[in-house]
């Protein structure tokens, strides 16, 4: 398992790119990671193109970070993620025995709820087993909503597109596989509201701070119509507390030397940062 506090996210589905549905996974994953002292490093959206999905997943498998992939693991013609994952890995697909057992349990539950006999050989029930066909070597991610599992291969974790299923499965993966990372590295942002300055004027100061403090990152968030502060720049540094404190002191001293008009100072700890 990776020794990191950063994660990636892939969202699969034409419905997101067309605007038919709004993605809710990104803000939820940020929330879940932040609550554990972790953070999202990157996110990528990809439509239902097998070629693009395969290329995206190949980068995810080859990359250094754990990645969540949401969507496209069903068994309809527009679901390609399972097949693309296998192609990206260069391994065959196979019916996972634990997934098969869970899917059969779900089919029996459904038959009981509908008051009809369970027929394992009925065509639609046989087709449903395709939802348990994963790349060879995959591990199960349990689904508390309806038992139809997701799967992991290496550090890439595949979940359904439905939030009601995906979100508790995300939490299970984080707590089961990455619980040792939670809260291990504190993370903080310190910033100050700067009035009457342009980003171009502040850029040399920002570059100097990043050069002098390589463990932190500088951020600049300009606003032209904030309801409280109007036109301003939220200028700050983020990272672990000790290097942030030193970098922030240099930031404030640099702003004062430039004659900048400063407003409130803001501190955001991990768990507050979205």
Whether the pLDDT of residue 169 is over 70: the answer is yes
More confident residue, 186 or 157: 157
Percent of the chain whose pLDDT exceeds 90: 85
CATH architecture of the domain with residue range 188-269: 2-Layer Sandwich (3.30)
| Separation between Cα atoms, residue 189 and residue 199, nearest integer Å | 19
Whether the pLDDT of residue 16 is over 90: the answer is yes
**Residues with Cβ < 8 Å from 203, sequence gap 6 or more?**
none
What is the average pLDDT value for the chain, to the nearest integer? 93
Average pLDDT over residues 159-172: 97
Whether the pLDDT of residue 215 is over 50: the answer is yes
Question: Structure tokens of 160?
Answer: 């359904």
Give the pLDDT confidence score for residue 185 in this predicted structure.
Answer: 66
Give the pLDDT confidence score for residue 268 in this predicted structure.
Answer: 83
Average pLDDT over residues 149-170: 97
Question: CA dihedral in degrees (44, 48, 54, 57; nearest 10)?
Answer: 30
End-to-end CA, the chain:
25
Give the pLDDT confidence score for residue 183 in this predicted structure.
Answer: 67
Give the pLDDT confidence score for residue 23 in this predicted structure.
Answer: 95
CATH, domain range 6-181: 3.40.980.10
| Separation between Cα atoms, residue 81 and residue 14, nearest integer Å | 13
Average pLDDT over residues 139-160: 97
pLDDT digits (tens, 9 = 90+) for 193-202: 999 899 999 9
Give the pLDDT confidence score for residue 3 in this predicted structure.
Answer: 67
Strand order in the sheet with 261-269: 217-226, 230-239, 188-195, 261-269
In contact, 11 and 66? CB cutoff 8 Å: no
| Separation between Cα atoms, residue 43 and residue 56, nearest integer Å | 11
| Separation between Cα atoms, residue 8 and residue 60, nearest integer Å | 8
More confident residue, 135 or 185: 135
Whether the pLDDT of residue 100 is over 60: the answer is yes
| Separation between Cα atoms, residue 94 and residue 80, nearest integer Å | 15
If DSSP codes are grouped into helix, strand and coil, which group holds residue 265?
A: strand
Supply the DSSP symbol for 198. Answer: -
| Separation between Cα atoms, residue 53 and residue 36, nearest integer Å | 29
Judged on CB neighbours under 10 Å (0-12, 13-18, 19+), 76 is exposed
Indicate where the chain has its CATH 3.40.980.10 domain(s): 6-181
Whether the pLDDT of residue 216 is over 80: the answer is yes
DSSP β-ladder status, 188-195 and 217-226: unpaired
Whether the pLDDT of residue 55 is over 80: the answer is yes
pLDDT digits (tens, 9 = 90+) for 35-51: 888 899 999 999 999 99
Average pLDDT over residues 206-226: 93
Average pLDDT over residues 15-20: 94
- Whole-model pTM? 0.82
Q: What share of the chain is helix, strand, coil (3-state, %, to 5)?
A: 40, 25, 30
Whether the pLDDT of residue 274 is over 60: the answer is no
> What's the pLDDT band for 187 if we cut at 50, 70, 90?
confident
Give the pLDDT confidence score for residue 37 in this predicted structure.
Answer: 83
Question: Structure tokens of 207?
Answer: 């570059």
CA Rg, the chain, in Å? Answer: 23
Indicate where the chain has its CATH 3.30.70.2860 domain(s): 188-269
More confident residue, 50 or 273: 50
């Amino acid at each position: 398992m990776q020794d990191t506090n950063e994660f990636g996210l892939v969202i699969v589905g034409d419905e997101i790119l067309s605007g038919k549905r709004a993605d809710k996974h990104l803000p939820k994953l940020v929330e879940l990671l932040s609550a554990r002292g972790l953070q999202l490093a990157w996110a990528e959206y990809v439509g239902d193109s097998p070629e693009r999905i395969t290329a995206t997943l190949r980068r995810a498998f080859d990359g250094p970070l754990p990645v969540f992939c949401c969507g496209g693991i069903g068994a309809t013609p527009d679901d390609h993620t399972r097949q693309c994952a296998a192609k990206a890995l260069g391994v065959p697909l196979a019916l996972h025995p634990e997934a098969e057992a869970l899917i059969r349990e779900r089919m029996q539950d459904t038959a009981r709820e509908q008051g009809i006999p369970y027929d394992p050989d009925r065509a639609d029930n046989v087709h449903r087993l395709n939802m348990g066909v994963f790349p060879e070597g995959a591990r199960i991610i349990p689904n508390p909503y309806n038992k139809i599992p997701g799967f992991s291969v290496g550090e890439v974790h595949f979940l359904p597109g439905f939030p009601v299923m995906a979100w508790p499965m995300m939490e299970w993966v984080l707590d089961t596989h990455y619980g040792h990372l939670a809260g291990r590295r504190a993370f903080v942002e310190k910033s100050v509201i700067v009035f009457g300055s342009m980003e171009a004027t502040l850029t040399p100061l920002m570059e100097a701070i990043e050069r002098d403090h390589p463990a932190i990152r500088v951020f600049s968030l300009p606003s032209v119509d904030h309801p409280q502060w109007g036109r301003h720049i939220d200028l700050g540094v983020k990272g672990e507390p000790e290097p942030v404190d030193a970098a922030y002191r240099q930031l404030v001293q640099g702003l004062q030397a430039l004659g900048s008009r400063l407003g409130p100072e803001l501190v955001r700890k991990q768990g507050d940062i979205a």
